[in-house]
Chains A and B, each alone.
Chain A
Amino acid sequence: MANIETALKECMGLEGAIGVALVDYTSGLTLGYLGGDGVMDMTVAAAANTDVVRAKIRALELLGLRDGIEDILITLDSQYHLIRLLRSRTTGDALFLYLALNKSRANLGLARHQLRKIEADLDV
């Protein structure tokens, strides 16, 4: 099992990674972040994307879908933004990993696969 620091470093090791944050979406506060330098403020990204995650959860509620969100992919002109929700463990924390990737350098399929592994290993 990896701790938060290790998991964030592994995420930043992915090809094309711009920044990564581990976010508590009950408050929008970050448990940790790396990168983002000069491109985006990761704490702002965390707070703003908390609303994205909440909106999707609300959408599922309205649709009456008894299902969970595995990940959310947002494609910009020059970036990929990957949001991966952590499987709620014993503590019942509501957390997600937020990863920004450079579109021209990243391999989306590989990044998504590796993010799944990092998330599975992450112990908060």
Chain B
Amino acid sequence: MKASGCLAANEWICGEYVRSRSEELVDATVQHVWITLASVGIGLLVSFPLALIARRWRVLTGPVLGLTTVLYTIPSLAMFSLLVPLMGISASVVVTGLVLYSLTILIRNLLAGLDSVPAETREAARGMGYGQTRLLFAVELPLALPAVMAGLRMATVSTIAMTTVGGIIGYGGLGNLIVDGMRTLFKAQVLTASVLCVLLAVLADLLLLGLQRLLTPWTRARRSGGGGRFRVGTARRQKEAA
């Protein structure tokens, strides 16, 4: 009786809520995860060629970065609302909006990462007979990985947070529960969904950090000696680029 009392009393923390609505919570979390995955995945696919174009033709660097920044400035609620007449009320509205936001961070970090590859390394690879494509995939991208992964982590974390805004049109994963709970003043629902959302962000960040460690074993040796040399370097270069 005590447990069900917390639902009736509208308490913040309520085990009964988690038990009785576990299906709803799981569904929302699953939706949240796939919206995030789709957005960041597509964002990465779109930003990769854009970054390469911006690097190949330096005249385009300014316009590409400028345009993505302008998109980033538009508030999420407005972005989703503007996409609704184009795509109807569907998950693609949310995914498109989130993809557009992720481009800002991803392109910036891809460029910073590729720019951080030492010219001598590039020369050496070219001297060994590497062609453009092989140079890119075998030398430049691996060396750019720390910056790219840093961008991917940031994009993922902010995408998870921003997915909630999709709740306004019913495609916001845990955001649906937050919006609904706000309307009905259901405290346990808002708090549980919010906490799950933050946990999801932390978990995704840790997973990507682990992936980064696995993919770039050589930075660890350097980091222990140089105190985060790599990241400081990219931050610096980033500032100079800006």
Our verdict on whether A and B bind, yes or no, reads no
Q: Residues of A with Cβ closer than 8 Å to B?
A: none
